[in-house]
Structure 1
Amino acid sequence: MLQEFFTPSVQHALDLVGIFVFAISGALLAVRKNFDVFGMAVLAEVTALGGGLFRDLVIGAVPPAAFTDLGFFLMPLVATALVFFLHPVVERTQAAVNVFDAAGLGLFCVTGATKAYEYGLGLTASAVMGLATAVGGGVLRDVLANEVPSLLRWDRDLYAVPAIVGATLVVLCIRFEILNPFTSGFAAVTAFAIRILAIRFHWRAPRAWNRRSTATEEVAPEKATA
């Protein structure tokens, strides 16, 4: 059933789009961190390919597509060149990073869950792989940029939850045999919308119940330097 709607060419196109938008977010973060062009390229490559590389190793799709498809390697370099010459004013790059990161999150949670299922994983495991594909590159990006990953920060807006929702919608569509370009697009847009709304309205996951610690809260890096 999946092959009927997701031919190799369609899957490849979706992967390239996701790689491009994630690479844009990585390169823009490098601009905000004042990295040089090499640093921009590294951050773009890691952000774009990190999650998919992890997924492919787990599901046994080896060698990973990141090493066998020249387009996967070149797309982040194209994104780097675009950002190098046309990036927004530095003070406004965070908003652009958030939008492109949310778009990549939505696309990758869908393609990741779909590919995992095609390689024989169950529905639950496929949803987990969709989440890992979506957030893996962003985690590596933040680590290389010397930031605590957004995935782990209590003071950051929901990040993993939108990907979980998108991946869950995909496996539900698979379960009820209604997965097609429209429903997969709906899943990606839903994840994107939740992430954008979380940023807009500062939706955050709860911390430990009845937390009474008197320890001083860790100051976010951007706030500490404000």
Structure 2
Amino acid sequence: MTADYFLFLGLFGVAFFAVSGALMGHEKSINGFGVVVVASVTALGGGTIRDLLLTQPIFWVETPSYLYSAYGAVVLTVLSIRYLPPLSNYYFILMDAAGLAIFNIMGIEKALIEGTGMIVALTMGMTTGIFGGLLRDVICREVPLVMRGDLYATACLSGGLAYAALFALDAPYAWCIFGSLITTVFIRLGSLHWGWKPNIFKKGYTPKS
């Protein structure tokens, strides 16, 4: 991935997650600077943790364009809420799914560039995709999406596995990106639309005391 393409993808991911954070802030009746805080944590939190784990410069400190993208997305969201008809919760779900998919790829790519193995890269993809939303939900006193019964971390992991499979098959680079994006978004939205839920333990299972 060229540096320009990586930046382009990252700016979109930051914007999508910033919008989802701003919409969550609006839903929780957070006003003023609080909305900016929630949106910024959502957009920048996962990537910050990833860079700390990889001992790399924090991406938004090294490249302030990410901050412009986040803040610009917040301003546009606030203006849309203020002057346009009420937004459906569907927009929050869609923005969050898009941000999850893009940040998953960014985490995988950055880890691979740093020379990690694929298993570490998949873990970094999940870290990048999940932790911003997790921090957002904790700040807003919500049960984090990743802890609920629908498919969130699973969607992220599935997108990573799709990337890894296509990469191993020497598929064209664009197909690795596209396959991962489609897989993550499809499973995330499909879990909400069709009620797909993970079932790790047997039904009715209760641990022994």
2:142 maps to 147
1:120 maps to 115
1:200 maps to 193
Paired positions, count: 204
Within a 5 Å distance, the mapping from 1:90-105 to structure 2 comes to 92-105=87-100
Question: Does the 8 Å contact 1:43/1:141 carry over to 2?
Answer: yes
2:31 maps to 36
Within a 5 Å distance, the mapping from 1:6-17 to structure 2 comes to 6-17=1-12
2:161 maps to 168
Question: Does the 8 Å contact 2:108/2:125 carry over to 1?
Answer: yes
Per-residue CA deviation, residues 77-102 of structure 1 (Å, 9 max, x unaligned), is 11111111102655x44221101000
Query: Cα 1:115–1:139, aligned 2, differ >3 Å: closer, same or farther?
Result: same
Displaced runs of 4 or more, over 4 A: none
Counterpart selection for 1:20 from 15, 24, 34: 15
Name the CA distance, whole Å, in 2 between partners of 1:95 and 1:177.
36
Per-residue CA deviation, residues 114-158 of structure 1 (Å, 9 max, x unaligned), is 11111111011111111111111110010011111111123xx21
C-alpha displacement of 1:54 = 0.9
TM normalised by structure 2 equals 0.91
Counterpart selection for 2:127 from 127, 132, 145: 132
Counterpart selection for 2:62 from 45, 63, 68: 68
C-alpha displacement of 1:162 = 1.0
Give the AA of the match of 2:47.
G
C-alpha displacement of 1:205 = 1.4
Give the AA of the match of 1:188.
L
TM normalised by structure 1 equals 0.84
Residue 79 of structure 1 pairs with residue 73 of structure 2? yes
Give % identity: 30
What is the Cα-based RMSD across aligned positions, in Å?
A: 1.7
Per-residue CA deviation, residues 196-226 of structure 1 (Å, 9 max, x unaligned), is 111111211126324366xxxxxxxxxxxxx
Question: Does the 8 Å contact 1:16/1:75 carry over to 2?
Answer: yes
| Consecutive unaligned residues in structure 2, runs of 5 or more | none
Residue 56 of structure 1 pairs with residue 55 of structure 2? no
Query: Cα 1:124–1:179, aligned 2, differ >3 Å: closer, same or farther?
Result: farther
Give the AA of the match of 2:204.
R
Residue 188 of structure 1 pairs with residue 173 of structure 2? no
